[in-house]
Structure 1
Amino acid sequence: MNKAPTAAQLAAAGWFKSSYSAADNECVEIAHARSWVGVRDSKATQGTVLAVTAAAFAAFLGGVKGDGPDRTV
């Protein structure tokens, strides 16, 4: 498995918010760092970053959109 990105790699990553983000910045930001995805609070950008593998993030998005492997009808 690939090593998790360092704090410096995450800080240098291109962070962005969803286009669905509210005008008052109440959203999360994500960034791609190697084969990992970083997730952070858009109001606390210097705070804690959650780093997950790109595959785990893709599975999460699939579940949120309802087309993932754990989809229930």
Structure 2
Amino acid sequence: MKHLLQEASNNEQQLVSKEKEFETVVAEKDAQIDELSAQLGAIEEQIAKGELAPAGPEDPERTGRVGRRA
């Protein structure tokens, strides 16, 4: 009987430890989500203001996309 109680206690300690690890990971992911949401909001504002629209035609030499000659 004492062995079963000790085993149950060990299992409970392991579960508590894993729960704490999961809570830490979830908190980190929540922080990442908050940061990405803020970045997305800033990008959406720039789009709404037209700040992310291209300035003009692309320069093929600058972008490295030079057309092939037939």
Using the size of structure 2 for normalisation, the TM-score is 0.27
Structure ranking higher in helix proportion: 2
Q: Bigger relative contact order, structure 1 or 2, given CA contacts below 8 A and separation 6+? A: 1
Structure ranking higher in strand proportion: 1
Q: Which has the larger radius of gyration?
A: 2
